[in-house]
């Protein structure tokens, strides 16, 4: 028996609506240890919302074979010279991949493999990004407006934030004379 109902998505803004859509916000105060310049983070208003995630999780978390759907809305801004970005994670089940599709704005998908090799893919409306298994992923907003992107990931992937909080990515994306520059990559 099918127990789910369709939800709605505004294709231009990424906004999700309907029964079962959940939302979380990440403020400057939630992002301790994420940016390279902790003093610059502490100097900002802690209540600033850096990003919001709407998600539709029609299967129980951990279900093998199910899929989750979500939209992330990432504000433009800087912490020091580093672009506002998501926390970033590996999947707890490392062999699970994910798709990201940009709906609005400009950004960068930063990917790091398990050998700590980091690179980024520019994000623009319509760009489709495959996040392979065993790959940490985070998104930075490199533009002047909200960056929104859809994501689809397996319901048993899970989020491993601890590895990134502890070891970080091997490179950070800075604003260098108005342009993104990945610093620390091989
Ligand atoms: C995408 C998906 C979500 C993730 C969100 C924010 O929507 O990958 O699973 O939660 O981005 O990223 P993070 O959890 O790293 O803050
Ligand atoms: Zn993921």
Q: Where along the chain do its domains lie? A: 9-183
- State residue 186's pLDDT score: 58
CA distances to 3, 32, 34, 58, 142 from 147, in Å: 32, 22, 19, 25, 9
- State residue 185's pLDDT score: 67
- State residue 148's pLDDT score: 98
Work out the average pLDDT over 97-101: 98
Cβ atoms 27, 79 nearer than 8 A: no
Q: Return the CATH number of the domain spanning residue range 9-183.
A: 2.60.120.10
- The residue whose CA is least distant from atom 1 of ligand 1 is 151
Question: Is it the case that residue 1 has pLDDT exceeding 60?
Answer: no
Q: What value does the mean pLDDT of the chain take? A: 96
| Per-residue pLDDT tens digits for 111-129 | 999 999 999 999 999 999 9
Structure tokens at 63: 């279900």
CA distance linking residue 7 with residue 21, whole number of Å: 8
Testing ligand 1's pocket by substitution, the residue of 24, 62, 86, 97 carrying the most ligand atoms inside 8 A of its CB is 86
Question: Is it the case that residue 184 has pLDDT exceeding 80?
Answer: yes
Ligand 1 pocket, residue 151 CB under 6 Å: yes
Q: Starting from the CA of residue 131, give the closest ligand.
A: 2
Work out the average pLDDT over 126-137: 98
Rounded to two decimals, the pTM is: 0.96
19 confidence band (pLDDT: 50, 70, 90): very high
Residue located via tokens 């299967």:
59
- State residue 5's pLDDT score: 87
Ligand 1 pocket, residue 92 CB under 6 Å: no
Compute how many other C-beta atoms are within 10 angstroms of the C-beta atom of residue 30.
14
Work out the average pLDDT over 12-40: 97
């Amino acid at each position: 028996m099918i127990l789910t109902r369709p939800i709605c998505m505004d294709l231009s803004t990424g906004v999700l609506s309907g029964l079962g859509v959940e939302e979380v916000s990440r403020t400057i105060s939630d992002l301790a240890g994420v940016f390279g310049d902790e003093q610059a983070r502490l100097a900002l208003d802690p209540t600033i919302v850096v990003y919001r995630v709407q998600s539709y999780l029609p299967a129980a978390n951990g279900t093998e074979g199910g899929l989750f759907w979500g939209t992330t809305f990432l504000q433009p801004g800087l912490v020091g010279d580093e672009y506002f970005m998501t926390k970033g994670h590996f999947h707890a089940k490392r062999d699970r991949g994910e798709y990201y599709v940009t709906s609005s704005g400009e950004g960068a998908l930063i990917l790091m493999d398990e050998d700590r090799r980091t690179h980024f893919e520019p994000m623009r409306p319509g760009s489709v990004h495959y996040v392979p298994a065993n790959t940490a992923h985070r998104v930075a907003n490199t533009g002047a407006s909200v960056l929104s992107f859809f994501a689809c990931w397996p319901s048993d992937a899970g989020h491993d934030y601890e590895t990134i909080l502890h070891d970080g990515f091997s490179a950070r994306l800075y604003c260098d004379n108005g342009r993104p520059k990945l610093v620390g990559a091989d």
